[in-house]
Chains A and B, each alone.
Chain A
């Protein structure tokens, strides 16, 4: 297959994009009398163009073309009906797929729904675990707060693949937990290769992304506000839900987005901890690209994912316009 080759007109599109960018840059320079901030921003802008904008254009190109580079919407139909290509061939050969017992293939849609569901569960669990953790860490009275923050950060310095594999050695049939259970006289338990294990891995990986935006907002909050609430008649709980909670909502929204977005696109974790039983959308995209070697359908799937992410980003901007929640990571 010659999927790796970009057709001539695709290159022209990219070059045109680059030219537009350069023209914009020149105009901007002229307006600012030459020597201003854009100079310092240019390395980053170049980086953005090469590694963000160009790949996005490429994905867009692949998503709307077939193997021969002709415009088509079939890739998106493929998302809705994973048997679409096969059925099309059958029809071309004069069969009716319905007669042969082939109906709409729901694998792709099901995987997306499963991913959304898993991401939703992961976000809820992260919120339930993360908010109290952030609250404790931001508590002025709690002297170990800063230490806890560091303890939360340190695992993030490790590669997430490594962390996930570490969980495997804990959860395996002959892993640490099962050995312990056996030694204590309980039987072995099947811990891995199910949705629960995948969820555990996801929560473990994404929890800091929930904790830190909330911690950031709580930490910056003037403690005098809680004192004022107490002064005016609030006990501890009322202070929390009348003052602390409403003021920390931007952090919560930020945390939800920062967990939900990567959680939907999770890959590798389901493959490692879920075995072959659980596939999420990220894995599906990867498989479509690398195993099925179908860059066009893979790009279409990626675009659907991207639209979902952009929508949630837009939601975030609405609730937390300054983006202060996410400023820590």
Chain B
């Protein structure tokens, strides 16, 4: 796997009118991998995608594709295809001609075009829609056509720029699974841009968390969720309690007025740290056996679990639990060492 790097970004930087949008991005994408660029708007994820697609050129750095420098190639000479944010389907062409657009440019024989278009329509579950006008389709259908139009060209990499942003929640979840399924069946590399952490966790092999033109963390969904590198990543991916704390010594951290045993080491004694505890990792126990005690301030029913806000001294804990405690009752809180994540406190980014 390691050796099959398909795309490599080397020291990519980009600024618009003096404002840095990407600073020194290094990233590689393996063959057949589903990579997601995740971050809030303005973090540079779309610019990164556009640089790979050829719609923008980096101010410095190189884009390597299969070992060759493609930085200077125009989009039509790159073996990648893009699914645009608002689909960008051609309104003057019907569904079939939209999908056949790339094939016709390559002078593919007519019967082969027909065959491939039908196969693509089948793949995106829209068989028989070929003659329809693009405007007559719903958002979800347009999205599928946009994917079909890109995939029919058999690109080595498919770039997807927030493709599900305009769809409603239920449709979005369906499409997430469909896209993931398509990627696995076709064995094509997908580079996916989104600001939706749940989407990223569901679909990706690798998540790249970005902020302010920097890459904060690269890893599998699980490693990023379980071991966020800093408070920003922890907050952006899932819900978290983040407390300032101090390492008493290796494997013992002090926060919220109590000492907690943990599994992290190497921060140095008395070093200031950020402590992350996921709401579902907090255990509600008897008042007398808790590591800290608190009062239930509010309870929200969320379907699978209750979300409780608990005041404990000067800090507030968010706790997810399937058992409900009445508001005002005193509870003990406890966290097992493995579920306490210690991070270096975040320094403010210079680029911002």
A238 sits at the interface (CB 8 A): yes
Shortest Cβ-Cβ A-B pairs, 4 listed: A232-B102, A224-B88, A228-B88, A233-B105
Give chain A residues whose Cβ lies under 8 Å from the Cβ of B81.
231-232
B149 sits at the interface (CB 8 A): yes
Chain B interface (Cβ < 8 Å from any Cβ of A): 53-55, 74-76, 81-82, 84-86, 88-92, 101-102, 105-106, 149-150, 153
Contact B153 A232, beta carbon cutoff 8 Å: yes
Give chain A residues whose Cβ lies under 8 Å from the Cβ of B88.
222, 224-225, 227-228
Give chain B residues whose Cβ lies under 8 Å from the Cβ of A230.
54-55, 74-76
Q: A232 to B153, alpha carbons, bound, how many Å?
A: 8
Q: Can you report 9 A-B residue pairs in the complex whose CB atoms are below 8 A from each other?
A: A222-B86, A224-B88, A227-B55, A230-B76, A231-B75, A231-B81, A232-B102, A233-B106, A234-B105
Q: Point out the residue from B53, B92, B101 that lies within 8 Å of A247, measured CB to CB.
A: B92
Contact B90 A225, beta carbon cutoff 8 Å: yes
A235 sits at the interface (CB 8 A): yes
Q: A232 to B102, alpha carbons, bound, how many Å?
A: 5
CB closest chain-B residue, reference A225? B88
Give chain B residues whose Cβ lies under 8 Å from the Cβ of A231.
53, 55, 75-76, 81-82, 150
With contact pairs A227-B75, A243-B90 given, residues A232 and B105 touching in the complex (Cβ less than 8 Å): yes
Q: A247 to B74, alpha carbons, bound, how many Å?
A: 23
CB distance from A143 to the nearest CB of B (A): 11
Our count of residue pairs bridging A and B at CB distance below 8 angstroms stands at 58
Contact A233 B86, beta carbon cutoff 8 Å: no
Q: Point out the residue from A227, A232, A234, A247 that lies within 8 Å of B149, measured CB to CB.
A: A232
Q: Range of interface residues on chain A?
A: 10 to 19
Contact B84 A228, beta carbon cutoff 8 Å: yes
CB closest chain-A residue, reference B78? A231
A229 sits at the interface (CB 8 A): yes
CB closest chain-A residue, reference B106? A233
Q: A222 to B106, alpha carbons, bound, how many Å?
A: 24
Of the listed residues A227, A232, A243, A247, the one surrounded by the most CB atoms of chain B closer than 10 A to its CB is: A232
Give chain B residues whose Cβ lies under 8 Å from the Cβ of A232.
76, 81, 101-102, 105, 149-150, 153
Chain A interface (Cβ < 8 Å from any Cβ of B): 222, 224-225, 227-235, 238, 242-243, 246-247
Of the listed residues A224, A227, A233, A246, the one surrounded by the most CB atoms of chain B closer than 10 A to its CB is: A233
CB closest chain-B residue, reference A226? B88
CB closest chain-A residue, reference B50? A227
Give chain A residues whose Cβ lies under 8 Å from the Cβ of B76.
230-235
Q: A224 to B162, alpha carbons, bound, how many Å?
A: 14
Q: A222 to B146, alpha carbons, bound, how many Å?
A: 15
CB distance from B175 to the nearest CB of A (A): 19
Give chain A residues whose Cβ lies under 8 Å from the Cβ of B55.
227, 230-231
Q: A229 to B54, alpha carbons, bound, how many Å?
A: 13
Q: A243 to B91, alpha carbons, bound, how many Å?
A: 9
Q: A110 to B81, alpha carbons, bound, how many Å?
A: 59
CB closest chain-A residue, reference B155? A231
CB distance from A227 to the nearest CB of B (A): 6
Give chain B residues whose Cβ lies under 8 Å from the Cβ of A228.
82, 84, 88-90, 149
CB distance from A253 to the nearest CB of B (A): 14
Q: Point out the residue from B85, B89, B90, B102 that lies within 8 Å of A233, measured CB to CB.
A: B102
CB distance from A115 to the nearest CB of B (A): 34
Give chain A residues whose Cβ lies under 8 Å from the Cβ of B92.
243, 246-247
Give chain A residues whose Cβ lies under 8 Å from the Cβ of B102.
232-233
Q: A52 to B6, alpha carbons, bound, how many Å?
A: 69
Q: A246 to B101, alpha carbons, bound, how many Å?
A: 14
CB closest chain-B residue, reference A238? B105
Q: A232 to B77, alpha carbons, bound, how many Å?
A: 9
Besides A228-B82, A228-B88, A243-B90, 4 more A-B contacts (Cβ < 8 Å) are A227-B55, A230-B76, A231-B75, A243-B92
CB closest chain-B residue, reference A235? B76
CB closest chain-B residue, reference A246? B92
Contact A229 B101, beta carbon cutoff 8 Å: yes
Contact B84 A233, beta carbon cutoff 8 Å: no
Q: A230 to B53, alpha carbons, bound, how many Å?
A: 10
Q: Point out the residue from B54, B86, B149 that lies within 8 Å of A224, measured CB to CB.
A: B86
Give chain B residues whose Cβ lies under 8 Å from the Cβ of A224.
84-86, 88
CB distance from B59 to the nearest CB of A (A): 16
Give chain B residues whose Cβ lies under 8 Å from the Cβ of A235.
74, 76
Q: A42 to B55, alpha carbons, bound, how many Å?
A: 52
Q: A122 to B81, alpha carbons, bound, how many Å?
A: 43
CB closest chain-A residue, reference B84? A224
Give chain B residues whose Cβ lies under 8 Å from the Cβ of A234.
76, 105
Q: A254 to B171, alpha carbons, bound, how many Å?
A: 40
Q: Point out the residue from A227, A238, A247 that lies within 8 Å of B91, measured CB to CB.
A: A247
CB distance from A301 to the nearest CB of B (A): 41
Q: A234 to B106, alpha carbons, bound, how many Å?
A: 10
CB closest chain-A residue, reference B102? A232
Q: A238 to B76, alpha carbons, bound, how many Å?
A: 11
Q: A234 to B104, alpha carbons, bound, how many Å?
A: 10
Q: A222 to B85, alpha carbons, bound, how many Å?
A: 12
Q: A235 to B75, alpha carbons, bound, how many Å?
A: 9
CB distance from A80 to the nearest CB of B (A): 44
CB distance from B145 to the nearest CB of A (A): 12
CB distance from A87 to the nearest CB of B (A): 55
Q: A246 to B53, alpha carbons, bound, how many Å?
A: 25
CB closest chain-B residue, reference A221? B91
Of the listed residues A228, A234, A246, the one surrounded by the most CB atoms of chain B closer than 10 A to its CB is: A228
Of the listed residues B53, B105, B153, the one surrounded by the most CB atoms of chain A closer than 10 A to its CB is: B105
CB closest chain-A residue, reference B159? A231
Q: A21 to B177, alpha carbons, bound, how many Å?
A: 62
Q: A213 to B257, alpha carbons, bound, how many Å?
A: 70
Give chain A residues whose Cβ lies under 8 Å from the Cβ of B82.
227-228, 231
Give chain A residues whose Cβ lies under 8 Å from the Cβ of B91.
247
CB distance from B73 to the nearest CB of A (A): 11
CB closest chain-A residue, reference B149? A232
CB closest chain-A residue, reference B53? A231
CB distance from A217 to the nearest CB of B (A): 12
Q: A5 to B55, alpha carbons, bound, how many Å?
A: 70
Give chain A residues whose Cβ lies under 8 Å from the Cβ of B89.
228
CB distance from B328 to the nearest CB of A (A): 55
Give chain B residues whose Cβ lies under 8 Å from the Cβ of A243.
90, 92
